[in-house]
Amino acid sequence: MTPSTGRGPSLTDRLAEGPVVCAEGYVFELERRGYLQGGPYVPEVVLDHPEQVTALHEQFVHAGSDVVEALTYYAHREKLRAVGKDGMLEPLNRQALELARAVADSTGTLLAGNVCNTNLYDPAEPGTHTACREMFTEQVGWAADAGVDFVIGETFRYAAEALIALEVIREAGLPAVITLAVGRSPETREAWALPEACRRIADAGADVVGLNCIRGPDTMLPLLEGLVRAVDVPVAALPVPYRTHAEQPTFQSLGVDHDGQPAQQKPFPIALDPFTCDRYEVADFTRSAREVGVLYLGLCCGAAPHHIRSVAEALGRTPPASRYSDDMSKHAFFGTDPTLSRHNLDYSEQM
């Protein structure tokens, strides 16, 4: 087993006390900031601009995240090989874990390793199962060396691939949070019903099971109550903060712009701005998910620190970033404070 990190209660202990907030979405946010290439989404920023990764870790914790997740998403052998950079595999993973650990240690938050969908797994090709296991073993081994509190295995469309990742994590003696990614059809890619898939994953030893990515709040929420009923472990819900709906339930399927006209290009992944949820929609989702029994809450691709603050505040918390939560009563033109100038308030209708 991994030695104690000294950061305080474990993931299981924290969940026993109440909800855990986990900020995800690093690759999208760092792409928006100009430090990561959209399309490949390989997190070279870990080596090229480590200060930016550290800053985002700190900003998510400031906003209310209980977890610092190492930026090793898409830092696996298959993805790096596809872009001709497999030589940076180990340095990138170890650096990402070191950056995350420094922030977790300084803030008393949980440190999470990360493995994800390989895009290699094929149920009809056993050789891909072996290759996936080897890739998970590499990354989980480095995470164990770094002393992580648990490992997140996420964005799995195939539940069988998720089970391989889970087995590797358990063999390393680490707790596991395993989340599936659900496409337009509310089932896994091998056509397992979601409650059954999560039940199998929980029975195989996952500490937390649930859903992440792909679906926005409105199209993930209806799936959650069935998962809570199906398993006896905490359930996770980390949607993308985009306005998906019944006809376009995933952010890949969104296809119209904010005026309702056909988009000039497919919005996913780098023209999704008109579909972004505001902080109030994120808060509404958080409260609704909590009401049906979800305990591990957060957001995935597209999340920014202000979204995570809304998650935390919707749970009744006041993270450091709440010092700067909005107070529109003081706005010069739209406020209600009696000290504001009537001259400006009257002009607001012309703005």
The per-residue pLDDT for range 25-53, each reduced to its tens digit, is: 999 999 999 999 999 999 999 999 999 99
Q: In this structure, are 228 and 184 located in the same domain?
A: yes
Q: Which helix (H) or strand (E) holds 139?
A: helix 126-145
Is 308 within the bounds of a domain?
A: yes
Q: In this structure, are 275 and 342 located in the same domain?
A: no
pLDDT score, position 266: 86
CB 33 within 8 A of CB 79: no
The 3-state DSSP class for residue 170 equals helix
The 3-state DSSP class for residue 73 equals coil
Q: In this structure, are 140 and 232 located in the same domain?
A: yes
Q: In this structure, are 160 and 215 located in the same domain?
A: yes
Structural domains in the chain (count): 2
Q: Which one-letter amino acid corresponds to residue 4?
A: S
**Cα(2)–Cα(221) distance, integer angstroms:** 35
Name the burial class of residue 173, with classes exposed (0-12), middle (13-18) and buried (19+) by CB atoms within 10 angstroms of its CB: exposed
Instruction: Give me the domain span that covers residue 250.
Output: 11-317
**Cα(306)–Cα(156) distance, integer angstroms:** 27
3-state DSSP helix/strand/coil % of the chain, to nearest 5:
45, 15, 40
pLDDT score, position 4: 39
Q: In this structure, are 118 and 87 located in the same domain?
A: yes
Q: In this structure, are 96 and 203 located in the same domain?
A: yes
pLDDT score, position 2: 38
Q: In this structure, are 71 and 219 located in the same domain?
A: yes
CB 174 within 8 A of CB 153: no
- Among all chains, which residue has been given the structure tokens 């550290």? 54
Q: Which one-letter amino acid corresponds to residue 17?
A: E
The 3-state DSSP class for residue 187 equals strand
Q: In this structure, are 228 and 348 located in the same domain?
A: no
Going by C-alpha positions, the residue among 111, 109, 154 that lies closest to residue 8 is 109
Going by C-alpha positions, the residue among 87, 86, 85, 55 that lies closest to residue 71 is 55
Is 334 within the bounds of a domain?
A: yes
Range list of H helices, 155-292: 159-171, 194-203, 217-230, 279-291
Q: Which residues contact 328 (CB under 8 A, 6 or more apart)?
A: 334, 335, 336
Is 266 within the bounds of a domain?
A: yes
Is 250 within the bounds of a domain?
A: yes
Q: Which helix (H) or strand (E) holds 30?
A: helix 26-32
What residues does 250 pair with on adjacent strands? 215
Q: In this structure, are 132 and 44 located in the same domain?
A: yes
pLDDT score, position 254: 95
Residue numbers in the chain where pLDDT is lower than 70: 1-7, 256-264
Look up residue 25 and give its two tokens. Answer: 């979405």
Is 81 within the bounds of a domain?
A: yes
| Pairing label, strands 20-23, 110-116 | unpaired
Going by C-alpha positions, the residue among 56, 68, 206 that lies closest to residue 149 is 68
Q: In this structure, are 215 and 332 located in the same domain?
A: no
Each residue of 305-331: b (16+ CB within 10 Å) or e?
Answer: bbbbbbbbbbbeeebebeeeeeeeeee
Q: In this structure, are 334 and 222 located in the same domain?
A: no
CB 22 within 8 A of CB 112: yes
CB 223 within 8 A of CB 211: yes
Is 258 within the bounds of a domain?
A: yes
Sign of the Cα pseudo-torsion (119, 123, 124, 130, in order): positive
Q: In this structure, are 88 and 181 located in the same domain?
A: yes
- Predicted TM-score (pTM) of the model is 0.94
Query: Can you give the CATH number for the domain in which 212 is found?
Result: 3.20.20.330
Is 143 within the bounds of a domain?
A: yes
Is 257 within the bounds of a domain?
A: yes
